[in-house]
Structure formats: C-alpha cells, structure tokens
Structure 1
Amino acid sequence: MADDNSTNSENSTSVNIHIMGNEYHVASPESEIENLEVAARALDKRMKEIKQGGKIVGLERIAVMAALNLSYELMFGDSTSAEETDAINQRIQKIQEKIDTALASTAQTELI
C-alpha cells in the first residue's frame, strides 16, 4: 500500500523565503508556492513594522508578537470580516431554505 506522505513529498518543492534578512528553506506543495511567498512577505512586513516600533527587541520576540497579532486578526477579524460573515450566513440560510423546500416538494411527490 502506498504511503500518503510519499505521494505528497513527490509534489513538494523546497522554497527559499526571506524574513527579517534571514533565509529559510521550506518544503511546499508546488501548487502552494505562490501563496507561501505571499504569506512570507506579509510576515516579513509585519515583523519589520514591529521592529521599527522600537519597543520589542530580538528576532524571537518580534516573531512571537507578529504571530500573536496575526492570530488575533485571524480569530477575531475586523468589522469588515464580521459583515462578510453575516452576509455568508444569510446566504447559507437562504440556500438551506431552498433545500428544505425542494426536499419537502420531493417528499410530497413521492407520497403521491
């Protein structure tokens, strides 16, 4: 039986990313390389902003603060994200209502 990891590693490529002047070698699926590079640039920018603030010293501490900031934004987002979430939830509810109506109609047809 083939191991899933061997299949995934065949499609992975080593990518060099640069963060805060340091180069890191990261394995990435070929289809995700561009996304990884965008994420690395965003992290680099965020870490440089924190460093320029002057209150946090040391690469590790800057990285932790950047990670906390990004995690907070991901988890709690901003008002725009909340609006988008509400819009998505409304669309889901409408789709659910259509599904319920279609299922009820199908059930009625089957009874006849």
Structure 2
Amino acid sequence: MTTKQIEVSILGVPYRLACSPETEGALLEAVARVDAEMSKIRNSSNVRGTDRIAVMAALSLASELLKLQSSVRHGEAFPAEEIRRTMHQMNEQLGTVIQQYSM
C-alpha cells in the first residue's frame, strides 16, 4: 500500500498527514468535520486555548457517534454501506439463478 503526504489546516493550524490514496477523500472529510466543530466551539463559547477547544470538539463528536451507534443498534438508523453490500450480493445471486433457468 502506498502512502502520500497531504497538507491540511485545522483551526488555522497546518498539519501534514499521511494516508493512502484510497483513504484521502475520507480523511479530508474528517478534517473538514473536525475543523468545523472546533470553529463552532471557538466562535460560540468562552472556551479558549486550542487544546481545550480540541477536547470539547472531541467530546461533541464522540457524543454524536455514540448517539448514532445507539440508534443503529435499536434499528432507528440504517447502515447504508451494509445495505448496499447486501443488495449487491442479492443481485448477484438473483442473476445467477436467472441465468440457470434461462438456459
């Protein structure tokens, strides 16, 4: 697996990150989400200091993740990628069955 270096900025601070070409898009999306959360906290609260803002953003994002995981466990949210994978497998199986009976 090849890795590449990308330059990103979070709350105005530049970072150099390593990633594979396949994960670059997801990493850039995560960087944008973290930057947005940290900017929101900096602009809407009395929290000062990048380290404190980062901790508050991490807590906010972790809380969001836990809520999403809980709703998936309770059937309130649908894991889209798993559904796509299952649909693809079902289509392949149907294609095989149709092919067997059309000969």
- Shorter chain as denominator, the TM-score bin is 0.5 to 0.7
- When Rg is computed on C-alpha atoms for both structures, the one with the higher figure is 1
1:37 matched to 2:28? The reply is yes
Work out whether residues 68 and 77 of structure 2, in 8 Å CA contact, stay in contact via their aligned partners in 1. no
Q: Report the equivalent of 1:84.
A: 77
How far 1:78 moved relative to its partner?
8.5
Give per-residue Cα distances to partners, 1:7-36, cap 9 Å, x unaligned.
x4xx11111111000110011111011111
Identical aligned pairs, as a percentage?
29
1:23 matched to 2:18? The reply is no
Q: Report the equivalent of 2:62.
A: 71
Gaps of 5+ in 1: 1-7, 92-112
Pair 31,50 (structure 1): closer, same or farther in 2 beyond 3 Å: same
Gaps of 5+ in 2: 84-103
Equivalent runs, 1:53-64 vs 2, <5 Å: 53-64=44-55
RMSD: 2.5
| Distance (Å, rounded) in 2 between the aligned partners of 1:72 and 1:79 | 11
1:14 matched to 2:2? The reply is no
What is the aligned length?
79
Work out whether residues 8 and 16 of structure 2, in 8 Å CA contact, stay in contact via their aligned partners in 1. yes
Structure 2-normalised TM-score?
A: 0.66
* 4+ aligned runs moved over 6 Å, structure 1: none
Structure in which a larger fraction of residues adopt helix? 1
Structure 1-normalised TM-score?
A: 0.61
Give per-residue Cα distances to partners, 1:79-106, cap 9 Å, x unaligned.
9755115x99xx9xxxxxxxxxxxxxxx
